[in-house]
Structures are given as structure tokens and as C-alpha cells.
Structure 1
Amino acid sequence: MSRVYIPLILFVLLILEGVSIRFLPPQIAAGDLLFIPHWILLFLILVCIFYDKPRTYHAVIYALIFGFLIDMIYTGLLGAYMFTYGFAMYLTHILKRAFHGNFYVSLLLAAIGTALSDIVIYVIYSVIGFTDLYWTEYASVRLLPTIIINLIFLVIIYPMFVKRFIRWRDEQDWSS
């Protein structure tokens, strides 16, 4: 069943990312800070840590597919999210070998993945002229609030999905 549930959850997160800012209180949403939801990335980090086995790359494949969908739906540049999400998942897949999967490792890898993805997207957008923020302004106005809001989201979804991922991984027939 996990082969059905994971893409469905990712699809729901894809839709919710577009309206997530409306869930914030008006005082926060109307401020100067930019909050960019990377919910798909965070969910895939949990998939990578708790569902993927050492020789499977489900999270990387889903990152490429849903990164491309984000590019098609929400941005004007195809490939930016697809590349960064795929790269972040591959890096997470490599780093998870060095750590035991638990809450603190998930927070660490989520912070690294979110920061890496957002910085790479910022660099891509700066090079082609989609943004004109200076690095210091970007770091204080967008990067730090984005990391904080996404880590809060991870704390919320962590207890809902980790045991399911472990159960799905153990039930999965990897030979097919």
C-alpha cells in the first residue's frame, strides 16, 4: 500500500504548499519575512531516512518527479526545484548512512536539506535575474524564516509518519 500512499500524500502536499501561507496569522504573513514551504522536501527526507533501504532510491525519484511538478505549477523556470530536490535527497541518502535514524538526525538533515535547496534555488534565480536580493538580505528575510517554519512543520509531521514508514518498509516486497 505504501506504493500508493506516499505519492498520494506528496500530491496533497503539493497542493497545500500553494495555499500554506494563508494558514499563517495575518500579522506574520503580512510582514517583511518570506516563508517558503518545502513540505514535499521534508516529507521526502523522512521517506529517505525511514522508508528507503540502502540500495533503494524512492525518495530521490519522488524528489525529481515532484520537484518538476513544483516547477511546472508554481515557478516560471523548469528544472530548478527538480534539480535541487533531487540533489538534496541524494545527499540525504548518503548522509543517512553515517547517522542512526531518529528525531534529532531528522531535524539535522531537514535543516541541511532545506538550507541547501533554498540556497541553490536562490543562486539559480540570482544568476538568471529572477531575484535581486543581496545575500545578507536573503539570509535574514528568506532563508532563516524558511528553515524555521519548515522545521516546525517537520516536528508536526514526524510523529504521524515515522512508524508508518518503518512498517511499510518492513512489509514491502523489494524483489518486485
Structure 2
Amino acid sequence: MKRITVPLLFIFLFLLESLFVDIIPPEVFNSGRVMVPRFLMAAIFFLTVYGNAKQGVIYGLIFGLLFDMVYTEILGVYLVLFPLLSYLFANVMRILQTNVVVVSAVSLIGIALLEVGVYEMNLLIHITNMDFSNFVSVRLFPTLVLNMAFLVLAAYPFKRQFEKFADFLRND
């Protein structure tokens, strides 16, 4: 049962992101801002630190491909960014303390890098024509606020779950 808990959590978060967008449309907040839930990426970051860096990169690769296949027209953007950011995150966290607050803050920076990377790729292939300052105010800041609220609620449970998963992998 412990072996399947983490994959089920990631599948749930993958589905939760799309459900969140459907259930809570932007009109609820009465603004033109776009809040993108990156709950899955936050969980991958926490797995990378509290679980196993190799597992974090592998889950990033798998769910990056799945994300590209389901949500985007172009294969490769998330397939490259998810594992790349997980790898960078693992290396940065070797230098910093691994307490929940630091991991959450660096996770938000990783989510910001993901958003900027996706924006730049969309700008490069002419899917969007939004300038960067407009992107920051309309999409990046609201996305970071939403994901910060999510991390306040989920950081400690993620930490506990992934530490248990790491112990299970070591003892298996």
C-alpha cells in the first residue's frame, strides 16, 4: 500500500489542477487575472527534497510528458521543464536548509521559473503576444499567491508523506 500512495497522490494533484480551474473560474474573484494552480509541481519539489532527488526527477519527467499530452498542443515544454527544475531544485536545496519554510519559498521560486519558462516558450512560438510586464501582473503574481496559499496548507503533510516514502524506499 505504501508503494502506491505517492503515485496516487500525484495523480490526484494532476487531476485537482484541472478541476480547480473548472470549479473556481476567474470571474469568482471579479478580475481579469489568471491564477494557475501548480500543485503538482510543488509536490514534485517536496518529493525531490524530502523523498529522493532521483524519484523527483523521474516523477517530473513522467508528469511533464503527461501534462504536455493532456493540456498543451506542443510536446516538450513541460517534459523538459518539470525534470529540469526538479534537478535544479535538488542541487539548490543541498546548499540551503531543508526546513518547510525554506523549501516552500524555494518551491515558489521554482514555480515562478516554470511560469516564466512556459511564457517565454509561448512567446517564442507566437502563441501569446502579451508583454512581460503584463504577464507578471496578470498571471505570475496571482499564480504565486494561489500556490503560496496551497503550500501553507499542504507543505507539512507533503513533508511527512515524502519522508515516510523515503524511509519505505530505504528499507525496501
Same fold (TM over 0.5): yes
How far the C-alpha of 1:23 sits from its partner, in A, is 4.1
1:114-141 CA-to-partner distances (Å, cap 9, x unmatched) read 0111100000010001111100000100
Hey, what's the Cα distance between the residues in 1 that align with 2:129 and 2:2? 42
| TM-score, structure 2 as length reference | 0.92
Larger deviation: 109-118 or 13-22? 13-22
Hey, what's the Cα distance between the residues in 2 that align with 1:18 and 1:171? 30
Query: Paired residue for 2:71?
Result: 74
Hey, what's the Cα distance between the residues in 2 that align with 1:149 and 1:73? 22
Query: Paired residue for 1:10?
Result: 10
Query: Paired residue for 2:33?
Result: 33
Larger deviation: 164-173 or 67-76? 164-173
How far the C-alpha of 1:2 sits from its partner, in A, is 4.4
**Identity across the alignment (%):** 29
Q: Is the 8 A contact 1:51 1:165 kept in 2?
A: yes
Q: Which runs of 5+ in 2 are unaligned?
A: none
Hey, what's the Cα distance between the residues in 2 that align with 1:77 and 1:164? 33
Q: Which runs of 5+ in 1 are unaligned?
A: none
Query: Paired residue for 1:119?
Result: 116
How many aligned positions are there? Answer: 171
Q: Is the 8 A contact 1:48 1:59 kept in 2?
A: yes
| TM-score, structure 1 as length reference | 0.90
Are residues 1:20 and 2:17 paired? no
Query: Paired residue for 1:93?
Result: 90
CA RMSD, 1 decimal: 1.7
Query: Paired residue for 1:138?
Result: 135
Query: Paired residue for 2:54?
Result: 57
Q: Could you tell me which amino acid in structure 2 is paired with residue 36 of structure 1?
A: V
In structure 2, relative to structure 1, the CA distance for the partners of 1:122 and 1:2 (3 Å cut) is farther
Give the match's secondary structure for 1:36.
coil
Bigger helix share: 2
